[in-house]
C-alpha cells in the first residue's frame, strides 16, 4: 500500500491510496477522506461507489461530500469502478474499463481481473479497516448511477453489515435495461437466473428491505429509460424507504452535489443511532 497524495480538507485528510489487489490481479487505487474526528479514534465510514466511466477521483473532487462528512465525523471511501490497464480495455464506454458493474466476472476475458464484487465487499474493507481508524461496526453505503446499483445490491445482500443505504439516480432494474443486460451477459454469461443477484428490484421483491433507504432521482435525467426508477419505486414499501423525484435535475455531479448534504445527514442518523 502506498499513499499517492494527501491534502488537508475541512480539518481532515483527503488521501489517494494505491495497493496491490489480489482479487483483481493488479494495482487498484481508492480515495479516502478521514474527518478530523479520526485523530481521536475510529470513526464510522460511508462507502461511495461511482458510475460508468468514473475513477475514484470523480466523486472525491465533484460531489462536495467532505465538508458534510467532516461536520458529521464520518469517513468516506471512494473506490475505483474497475481494474485498469490493457487487460481492462474495451472500445465501449459501458463495458470494461470504468464499467465493472460491481460483479465478479466468470466469463473470458473479464474473469481474470473483473472481480469487483469481491474487491468491494471483501478485499478493500479488510485493507481499510486494518490500516486506518475506521469502525467496521458502523458502515453505510451510497453511490451514483452504476454505483447506485452497486450500493443497493451490496446493502441488500449484506444487510447486517450496513446501517443504511442511499443512491443518486441508480440503475435500479438492470436485468430489464441495456445498462445491465449487455454487461451481465459479458461478465456473467447467458444464464439470466444468475443475473438477479445483482438487480436491486428483484432482490427487494425476493428478500424485502430491512435498511433505511434514500434514493434521489432527477426528473430531467436523460437516462430514465435505462435507470428504471419507476420499477424501484413500485417495489418499495414502508416509511424507511424513500425515493424522491427532484424536478429539473439531470444525471450530472451538479445533481449529486446538490443533495449530498441530505445523504450525509441521512446516513449520520443511522451511523450514530
Q: Is 233 exposed, middle or buried (0-12, 13-18, 19+ CB in 10 A)?
A: middle
Q: What SS3 state is found at 174?
A: helix
Catalytic one of 56, 149, 198, 251: 251
Q: What is the DSSP letter of 193?
A: G
**135 labelled catalytic:** no
109: preceding bond cis by omega (within 30 degrees): yes
Catalytic one of 145, 164, 166, 177: 145
R_g of the chain, CA atoms, integer Å: 17
- Separation CA 61–CA 212 (nearest Å): 27
Q: What is the DSSP letter of 217?
A: E
- Which residues touch 251 (CB under 8 Å, ≥6 apart)? 145, 169, 218, 221, 222, 223
Q: Which of 101, 91, 79, 69 is nearest to 21 (CA)?
A: 79
Mapping DSSP onto H, E and C, the string for 60-125 reads: HHHCCHHHHHHHHCCEEEEECCCCCCHHHCCCCCCCECCECCCCECCCCCHHHCCEHHHHHHHHHH
**145 labelled catalytic:** yes
Catalytic one of 121, 221, 263, 267: 221
**Catalytic (active-site) positions:** 145, 221, 251
Amino acid at each position: 500500500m502506498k499513499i499517492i497524495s494527501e491534502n488537508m480538507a475541512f480539518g481532515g485528510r483527503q488521501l489517494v491510496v494505491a495497493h496491490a489487489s489480489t482479487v483483481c490481479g493488479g494495482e487498484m487505487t481508492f480515495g479516502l477522506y478521514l474527518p478530523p474526528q479520526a485523530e481521536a479514534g475510529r470513526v464510522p465510514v460511508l462507502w461511495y461507489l461511482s458510475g460508468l466511466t468514473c475513477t475514484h477521483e470523480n466523486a472525491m473532487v465533484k460531489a462536495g461530500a467532505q465538508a458534510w462528512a467532516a461536520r458529521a465525523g464520518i469517513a468516506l471511501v471512494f473506490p475505483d469502478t474497475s481494474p485498469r490497464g490493457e487487460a481492462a480495455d474495451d472500445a465501449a464506454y459501458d463495458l470494461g474499463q470504468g464499467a465493472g458493474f460491481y460483479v465478479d466476472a466468470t466469463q473470458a476475458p473479464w474473469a481474470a481481473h473483473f472481480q469487483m464484487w469481491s474487491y468491494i465487499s471483501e478485499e478493500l474493507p479488510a485493507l481499510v479497516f486494518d490500516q486506518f481508524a475506521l469502525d467496521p461496526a458502523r458502515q453505510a453505503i451510497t453511490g451514483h448511477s452504476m454505483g447506485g446499483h452497486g450500493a443497493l445490491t451490496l446493502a441488500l445482500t449484506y444487510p447486517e453489515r450496513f446501517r443504511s443505504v442511499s443512491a443518486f439516480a441508480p440503475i435500479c432494474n438492470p436485468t430489464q435495461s441495456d445498462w445491465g443486460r449487455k454487461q451481465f451477459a459479458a461478465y456473467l454469461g447467458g444464464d439470466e437466473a444468475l443475473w438477479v443477484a445483482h438487480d436491486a428490484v428483484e432482490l427487494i421483491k425476493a428478500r424485502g428491505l430491512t435498511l433505511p433507504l434514500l434514493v434521489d432521482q432527477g426528473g430531467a435525467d436523460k437516462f430514465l429509460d435505462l435507470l428504471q426508477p419507476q420499477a424501484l419505486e413500485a417495489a418499495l414499501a414502508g416509511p424507511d424507504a424513500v425515493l424522491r423525484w427532484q424536478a429539473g435535475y439531470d444525471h450530472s455531479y451538479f445533481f449529486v452535489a446538490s443533495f449530498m448534504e441530505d445523504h450525509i445527514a441521512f446516513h449520520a442518523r443511522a451511523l450514530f443511532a
